[in-house]
C-alpha cells in the first residue's frame, strides 16, 4: 500500500462525503464499526430509515472516497437504526402500531379522498383504523366520511366519532361552519399535539393522516411529534403535479420519513356508455416518476365522476367493493400493507457496492 494509513486518514476522507442536505457523514454519526487491516478496510453506514436511492449514492461515495487511499478492498455495510421509541410517541399514541401520512405537494389532486378511501379499505380488510384530518385550513374528512356523529369527552379525553368502522378526528368538528382558520405555527403545533395525545384512539393497526398540501408547519410538527411509519404521495399524471410531488418527497426525506409509495389519482377516464378510454390528465406519469426516484408504485385510481358524487354524499367509493374504483383502492391498500410489513421486517440490511 505504500505509506502507512491511519484511522484519522480514513475519517478525514469520509468527512468529504455529504448527505442530501450537505452535512458530512462523520459529523452526523453515520460511520460505525470502522476496522482497518493491512490491505482492506470495512465500516458500517447507519441511516435513520430504510436506505433508498439517495442513501445508496452516499454509500457509493463513501466507498470511493476510502478506495482513493489505495486499499485493495473496501467493504461497506449498510444498516438502519432500529427506531428508538420516542417518549413523545409513547405518551401521545401508545397503542397505535403504524402511522401513515397521505400527502401531496399541491392541492386539487384528490389527496383527502384517497386518504378516506384508503382508511375504509384497510378497515374492510380487517385492520383497526383511525383517520386524522391534519388539514386545519381546509378540513374535509367528516364530509367525505358521512359525518353523522360528533366527538364527545370521556374521562377528560376526546372520544372520536366512528364512521364505517373508522375512528376519525378533524378540526371541522370544532369550528363554526364556514369560519376560516388564521393560525400561525405554534397554534398548529398545539392542535396536532391535541389530535394525537388528547384523542382516545385506543388500539389501532393504522392511523392514516390526511395531510394539508405543500410542505409547511403541520408536516414539520407531525414528523417531530411522532415517528412516522412512512408517507404515501398522491399525484395526478400531469407533469406539474409530479414536479410538485417531488418536492413533497424531498421534504419527507429530509425529515427522515420513509416513502412507502406513490399513488396516481385521476389516471384514466372510461366512458360508462361506450367504454372509450380518455387520458384527460395523461396516464402513467406517477408510475414512471416513482420508478425513476426508486420508490414503490402503489397503484392508480381512475378519473370517475362517481367518486365525486359518492364523496359529496359522504359514502366513500371503497364501500362498494364490486366497483372498479373500489377495487383500485383495495389493491392500493394491499400494496401499502405489503410496504409496511417490508419496512418492519427489514430493519437492517447489508449492501456490498461493487
Q: What are the structural domain ranges in the chain?
A: 7-80, 87-344
pLDDT on residue 167: 97
pLDDT at residue 226 above 90? no
Between CA 197 and CA 94 the distance in angstroms is 9
pLDDT on residue 182: 59
Structure confidence by residue, pLDDT tens digits, 172-224:
888 766 665 555 566 777 888 889 989 999 999 999 999 887 666 788 788 77
Structure confidence by residue, pLDDT tens digits, 7-29:
888 888 899 998 877 788 888 88
pLDDT on residue 94: 87
Q: Is domain 87-344 given the CATH code 3.40.50.300 in the classification?
A: yes
Structure confidence by residue, pLDDT tens digits, 76-131:
988 766 544 444 555 688 899 999 999 987 677 889 999 999 999 999 999 999 99
pLDDT on residue 349: 44
| Cβ density class 227-260: b for 16+ within 10 Å, e for less | bbbbbbbbbbbeeebbebbbebbebbbebebbbb
pLDDT on residue 83: 47
Can you read off the three cell numbers belonging to residue 17?
Answer: 462525503
Higher pLDDT, 30 or 130: 130
Q: Which residue has the cell 397554534?
A: 187
pLDDT on residue 281: 57
pLDDT on residue 271: 60
Cα angle: 145, vertex 140, 257; to 5 degrees: 95
- Computed over every residue of the chain, the mean pLDDT equals 81
Between CA 140 and CA 176 the distance in angstroms is 14
pLDDT on residue 348: 39
Asked whether 264 and 300 are in contact (CB, 8 A), the reply is: yes
pLDDT on residue 308: 84
Structure confidence by residue, pLDDT tens digits, 305-346:
788 888 889 999 999 888 889 999 999 999 999 999 887 655
Calculate mean pLDDT across residues 153-176: 90
How many other CB atoms are there within 10 angstroms of residue 167's CB atom?
23
Strands 166-170 vs 129-133: parallel, antiparallel or unpaired: parallel
pLDDT at residue 351 above 70? no
Calculate mean pLDDT across residues 270-294: 67
Chain center to CA of 125: 20
Higher pLDDT, 52 or 110: 110
User: Which fold is adopted by the domain 7-80?
Assistant: GMP Synthetase; Chain A, domain 3 (3.30.300)
pLDDT on residue 181: 58
Amino acid at each position: 500500500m505504500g505509506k502507512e494509513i491511519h484511522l484519522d486518514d480514513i475519517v478525514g476522507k469520509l468527512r468529504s462525503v455529504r448527505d442530501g442536505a450537505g452535512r458530512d457523514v462523520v459529523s452526523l454519526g453515520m460511520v460505525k464499526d470502522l476496522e482497518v487491516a493491512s490491505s482492506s478496510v470495512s465500516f458500517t453506514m447507519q441511516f435513520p430509515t430504510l436506505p433508498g436511492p439517495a442513501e445508496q449514492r452516499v454509500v457509493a461515495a463513501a466507498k470511493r472516497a476510502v478506495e482513493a487511499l489505495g486499499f485493495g478492498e473496501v467493504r461497506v455495510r449498510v444498516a438502519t437504526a432500529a427506531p428508538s421509541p420516542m417518549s413523545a410517541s409513547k405518551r401521545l399514541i401508545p397503542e397505535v402500531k403504524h402511522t401513515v401520512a397521505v400527502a401531496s405537494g399541491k392541492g386539487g389532486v384528490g389527496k383527502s379522498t384517497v386518504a378516506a378511501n384508503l382508511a375504509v379499505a384497510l378497515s374492510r380488510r380487517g385492520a383497526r383504523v383511525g383517520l386524522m384530518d391534519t388539514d386545519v385550513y381546509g378540513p374535509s374528512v367528516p364530509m367525505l366520511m358521512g359525518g353523522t356523529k360528533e366527538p364527545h369527552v370521556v374521562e377528560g379525553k376526546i372520544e372520536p366519532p366512528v364512521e364505517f368502522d373508522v375512528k376519525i378526528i378533524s378540526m371541522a368538528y370544532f369550528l363554526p361552519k364556514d369560519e376560516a382558520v388564521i393560525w400561525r405555527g405554534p397554534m398548529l403545533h398545539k392542535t396536532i399535539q391535541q389530535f394525537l395525545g388528547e384523542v382516545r384512539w385506543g388500539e389501532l393497526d393504522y392511523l392514516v393522516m390526511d395531510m394539508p398540501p405543500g410542505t409547511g408547519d403541520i408536516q414539520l410538527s407531525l414528523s417531530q411529534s411522532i415517528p412516522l411509519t412512512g408517507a404515501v404521495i398522491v399525484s395526478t399524471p400531469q407533469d406539474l403535479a409530479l414536479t410538485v410531488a417531488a418536492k413533497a418527497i424531498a421534504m419527507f426525506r429530509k425529515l427522515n420519513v420513509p416513502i412507502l409509495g406513490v399513488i396516481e389519482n385521476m389516471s384514466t377516464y372510461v366512458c360508462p356508455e361506450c367504454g372509450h378510454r380518455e387520458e384527460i390528465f395523461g396516464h402513467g406519469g406517477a408510475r414512471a416518476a416513482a420508478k425513476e426516484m426508486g420508490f414503490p408504485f402503489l397503484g392508480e385510481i381512475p378519473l370517475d365522476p362517481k367518486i365525486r358524487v359518492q364523496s359529496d354524499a359522504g359514502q366513500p367509493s371503497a364501500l362498494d367493493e364490486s366497483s372498479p374504483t373500489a377495487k383500485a383502492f383495495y389493491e392500493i391498500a394491499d400494496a401499502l400493507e405489503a410496504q409496511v410489513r417490508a419496512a418492519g421486517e427489514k430493519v437492517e440490511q447489508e449492501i456490498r457496492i461493487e
